[in-house]
Amino acid sequence: MPGFSKKVSWILMLEIRSGKKVYDGREILNIPRLQLDKGIYWLQGINGSGKTTFLRMIAGLIPFSGDILFDGISLHQHPLPYRRQISLAEAEPLYPSFITGAEMIGFYQHIRKATAQQTGQLIHLFGMRPHLATPIGAYSSGMIKRLSLLLALLGDTPLILLDEPLATLDAEAAHRLPDLIREYHQDHGKSFIFSSHQSFAAGSLTVDKKLMAASQTIQMMA
Amino acid sequence: MSITRTVLLKSLVKTFYRQNAGLLAFFLFMLLGAVGRANEAGLLEYHYALIRGMLINPGFLILVLLLWFLYAMKCEQFISQTLRTRDYSFLYTLSFMKSGKVFRLLLLVEALIYLPVLWYVLVIAGVGIHLHQYAQVVVVLLFNLIVCLLSARWFLYLLHNPGTNRFAIRWKIPVLIRRKFYWTFFTRYLLNHRKVLLLVIKLYNCSILYLMVSRQLGEVYDLSMILLFYCFGMLGHGVIIHQFRDLEESRLSFYRGLPVSLAGRFIQYGCLYFILFIPEIITISRLTPAYLRPADALLFGFLGYGLLLLLNSLLFIKPFGKKQYLKIVVVIFFILFAGIVTGTMIWLTMLSFLFSVYLFFSRYYRYESV
């Protein structure tokens, strides 16, 4: 797919150093050290185990103590270059109801510097074209989910975080998503961390490693 | 009280007053607080003179009717928007009840959210009868009765016709602008959802500024009282700014994760508040140099713009509820009052700019809404 310029080498990608998140004095996550190579990761864990918090920490959406580095770029010391490397599709995305899908995509396209060709292809893949001129307030939850996945894939970010990507998606889109992730990973060297309670369609996606959110921390599963 | 009435009052009336607490507090202060103190006469004498003016001067009465109409439009906007939200879609079940009964319930809802106007109308009627201005009293009473009846009838129509949005005004912003700039999310939010609030605040601030400054005559050139009212109007923008931040935290939270520099983010807010400040800039320009010295015009301009930026940056310290934020705004008002009395407004203006920049850059990434 055009629009990608760099090939990513298979080395250490993400490093979390003393990452700690506390809400109202209660420790939600404490990750002394976690290193992830490039690849596809499936983040598992029960409800309330900190999966979403973990993904939002990596995406730089919430403050926390400690640091996260992507290819040696620190989130806290270099927030702008770091944010160029990562994008997130949230589990329950919310956008202003009065904005149309086309406007939202145009905004992301401008900031993420995505090519018109890539944008067009993603619009086609997610079946968004008939809904582009419609205000997001009139979208179904499945359509909003499609839009958020499209926005996360837009541009040239080497790491894409997907929080419950299958939730509210219809069968057709849910079936197509693993193929898309595999294509982005194999052909363009993109890495993914996704959380999901559901497993992807059997055999359609090879997960490199699994991460487990439990006991207020995130660990690599053997 | 019937369960239907209780649900309606809780869903519509209570929510209306909760959402518009800032705007109503602003009006209340203008009618009872600031006006009474600004005028050398007492509060009652002031209102008596105001009502007498309405009843005797047809032009003034038309202006007041127009303001009431704007408030009625705001009420209409609120009800129609609330009915369209998913949380309140259950209210459409009312359409299964007898129309007459639902109409009476909706009339009660309209009367309650229109109450701030209605109680003043009663005072006007009393004064009008005392002054033997019967025709004007009839006009005032009839106007408000028709507004209430038509509004209730319109709400009934909305209940029977879900999704109707006949009075919506669509504002067109060039595609290139609205796709590129973050500030356009907020301007569109204002034009789509907060038109009346914006109009009221701008109308107050610009008219106060114009009327008070243009009365500065010859040797008497004292801006103290004007500055005080101007500061109040600028701080009134806090209602809008608090709603901006609500929108940002609920539906624009993705922006924090996008690769935009901190300076770039601040510039977006700078653009937003510059655009919001344009009516005041135009008003100040029209008054300069005939009524306002250029140095004072600059003070008014920088002070107003600095306060907008400060009100915005304050909301990055931590999530302030409306009441907490209002308290902070009141404290700022008293600091400004002290500044006016001591003649240190230039320093306070500079301080508000510096503090807004410092707060924004130090707090933006540390802020969390939960």
ipTM entry: 0.91
The number of C-beta contacts closer than 8 angstroms across A and B is 71
Q: How far apart are CA B149 and CA B157, in angstroms?
A: 12
Which range has highest mean pLDDT (A92-96, B100-104, B179-183, B203-207)?
Answer: A92-96
pLDDT at B168: 52
Question: Are B192 and A98 in contact (CB < 8 Å)?
Answer: yes
Are the CB atoms for A44 and A220 separated by under 8 Å?
Answer: no
pLDDT at B98: 83
* Residue B329 CA, distance from chain mean position: 15
When pLDDT is cut at 50, 70 and 90, the band that residue B37 belongs to is low
Tens-place pLDDT, residues B190-238: 988 888 888 888 988 898 888 888 877 666 677 888 899 899 889 999 9
- H-type alpha helices, chain B: 3-8, 15-19, 21-28, 35-38, 43-56, 58-84, 99-113, 115-130, 134-160, 175-180, 183-193, 195-214, 224-236, 238-251, 262-287, 294-314, 322-342, 345-363
Question: What does DSSP say about strands A209-214 and A191-195: parallel, antiparallel, or unpaired?
Answer: unpaired
pLDDT at B222: 78
Q: With CA atoms as reference, report the closest residue to A68 among A16, A26, A24.
A: A16
Query: Does A10 lie at the interface with B, CB-CB under 8 angstroms?
Result: no
Q: Which of A90, A94, A106 sits opposite B179 (nearest CB)?
A: A106
Distance from CA of A202 to the nearest CA of B (A): 32
What are A210's two structure tokens? 């699994």
Question: Are B189 and A98 in contact (CB < 8 Å)?
Answer: yes
Tens-place pLDDT, residues B245-287: 999 999 999 999 999 999 999 999 999 999 999 999 999 999 9
Average pLDDT, chain A: 89
Q: With CA atoms as reference, report the closest residue to B238 among B86, B16, B79, B21.
A: B21
Q: Minimal Cα distance from A77: which residue of B?
A: B365
Who wins on pLDDT, A8 or B90? B90
Q: How far apart are CA B298 and CA B288, in angstroms?
A: 10
Q: How far apart are CA A3 and CA A115, in angstroms?
A: 6
Q: With CA atoms as reference, report the closest residue to B357 among B259, B265, B266, B234.
A: B266
Query: Does B252 lie at the interface with A, CB-CB under 8 angstroms?
Result: yes
When pLDDT is cut at 50, 70 and 90, the band that residue B91 belongs to is confident
Tens-place pLDDT, residues A124-151: 999 999 999 999 988 999 999 999 999 9
pLDDT at B169: 52
Who wins on pLDDT, B174 or A28? A28
Q: What percent of chain B has pLDDT over 90?
A: 43
Tens-place pLDDT, residues B116-158: 889 889 999 999 998 888 888 999 999 999 999 999 998 888 8
- Cross-strand bridge partners of residue A195: A43, A163
pLDDT at B174: 57
Q: How far apart are CA B164 and CA B167, in angstroms?
A: 9
pLDDT at A5: 41
What are A130's two structure tokens? 């008939």
Q: What percent of chain B has pLDDT over 70?
A: 90
* DSSP 8-state symbol, A99: S
pLDDT at A3: 41
Tens-place pLDDT, residues B300-339: 999 999 999 999 999 999 999 888 998 999 999 999 999 9
Q: Which amino acid is at B221?
A: Y
Average pLDDT, chain B: 86
When pLDDT is cut at 50, 70 and 90, the band that residue A6 belongs to is very low
pLDDT at A114: 93
Q: Minimal Cα distance from B246: which residue of A?
A: A96
| Residue B169 burial by Cβ neighbours in a 10 Å radius (0-12, 13-18, 19+) | exposed
Question: Are B180 and A106 in contact (CB < 8 Å)?
Answer: yes
Distance from CA of B254 to the nearest CA of A (A): 8
Question: Average pLDDT for residues B73-89, to the nearest whole number?
Answer: 81
Q: Which of B175, B188, B366 sits opposite A63 (nearest CB)?
A: B366
Who wins on pLDDT, A4 or B363? B363
When pLDDT is cut at 50, 70 and 90, the band that residue B11 belongs to is confident
Q: If DSSP codes are grouped into helix, strand and coil, which group holds residue B136?
A: helix
Torsions phi, psi for A77 (to 5 deg):
-85, -30
pLDDT at A84: 94
Question: Average pLDDT for residues B355-361, to the nearest whole number?
Answer: 97
- Whether B49 has a pLDDT exceeding 90, the answer reads no
Distance from CA of A150 to the nearest CA of B (A): 14
- Whether B18 has a pLDDT exceeding 60, the answer reads yes
DSSP characters for B63-110?
HHHHHHHHHHHHHHHHHHHHHHSGGGGGGGGGGGS-HHHHHHHHHHHH
Question: Average pLDDT for residues A88-92, to the nearest whole number?
Answer: 95
Q: How far apart are CA B27 and CA B25, in angstroms?
A: 5
Question: Average pLDDT for residues B78-87, to the nearest whole number?
Answer: 80
pLDDT at A78: 95
Q: Which residues of chain B are within 8 Å of residue A87 when distances are taken between CB atoms?
A: 257
Q: Which of A63, A87, A96 sits opposite B252 (nearest CB)?
A: A96
Q: Which long-range contacts (CB under 8 A, 24 or more apart) does A140-144 make?
A: A141/A168, A142/A168, A142/A169, A142/A170, A142/A173, A143/A101, A144/A93, A144/A94, A144/A95, A144/A168
Question: Average pLDDT for residues A50-56, to the nearest whole number?
Answer: 95
DSSP characters for A19-36?
EEEEETTEEEEEEEEEEE
- Provide the chain A residues 32-71 that lie in CB contact (below 8 A) with chain B: 59-63
Other CB atoms within 10 A of residue A100 CB: 20
Q: How far apart are CA A3 and CA A156, in angstroms?
A: 7
pTM: 0.79
* Residue A188 CA, distance from chain mean position: 16
- Whether A7 has a pLDDT exceeding 60, the answer reads no
Query: Does A179 lie at the interface with B, CB-CB under 8 angstroms?
Result: no
